[in-house]
Amino acid sequence: MLVVLRLGHRPSRDQRVTTHVALTARALGADAVWVSTEDESLEKTISGVVERFGGKFNIKTGVNWRNAIKAWKGEVVHLTMYGESLSKALPTIKSKDLMIVVGAEKVPREVYDLAGRNISVGNQPHSEVAALAIFLDRYMRGKSLEKNIRGRLTIVPNPRGKTVIDRSKGKAR
């Protein structure tokens, strides 16, 4: 199981970025996203995407991050600018059960100690969405982009427009 744990979500400020963390996690192969702050609106948004576009992705908000990290049976990877190099760390990650921790606001020092690995995706300020996307793409060796998740709606590659197949109507729209 691959879970992304989002720390420090502030619904009034981080709604869009946390939504993008969840969408990125889903699109690039994670099984779930857990968010430390309760946010029913976020749950509804992501559940709606899963309902329309398919897959078995799950979202849970209001998760006690300390308890979640401590109870995790697999490997815990915290993505940060201050960790070990992604290129060097990635080949050493062996667990099939992986929790990837990404922050919103300043991450508590305790997270650095609880995580089995603190891995940097570059050593310059950057977005947690970008860090998660790069990590997942490399971890999955690019294969998650090739998966065909059959949902009610399917986007068909089109170099000049938008083609979406709506299976409930049996036609493109």
CB 129 within 8 A of CB 87: no
Residue whose token pair is 């199981």: 1
Instruction: Summarize pLDDT for 91-144 with one digit per residue, the tens.
Output: 999 888 999 999 987 899 999 999 999 999 988 888 899 999 999 999 999 888
Kindly state the percentage of the chain with pLDDT values over 90: 68
pLDDT at 169 over 70: yes
Domain coordinates of the chain in residue numbers? 2-172
Q: Which class would CATH give 2-172?
A: alpha beta
pLDDT above 70 (res 33): yes
pLDDT for 172: 61
Report H helices in 54-162: 65-71, 86-89, 109-114, 128-139
pLDDT mean over 51-77: 96
- For the segment 13-38, the average pLDDT, to the nearest whole number, is 94
Question: Do 73 and 97 form a contact (C-beta atoms < 8 A)?
Answer: yes
pLDDT at 39: 94
Are β-strands 171-172 and 163-166 bridged in parallel, bridged antiparallel, or unpaired?
Answer: antiparallel
In 28-172, which ranges are continuous DSSP H helix? 40-53, 65-71, 86-89, 109-114, 128-139
pTM beyond 0.75: the answer is yes
- pLDDT tier for residue 14 given thresholds of 50, 70 and 90: confident
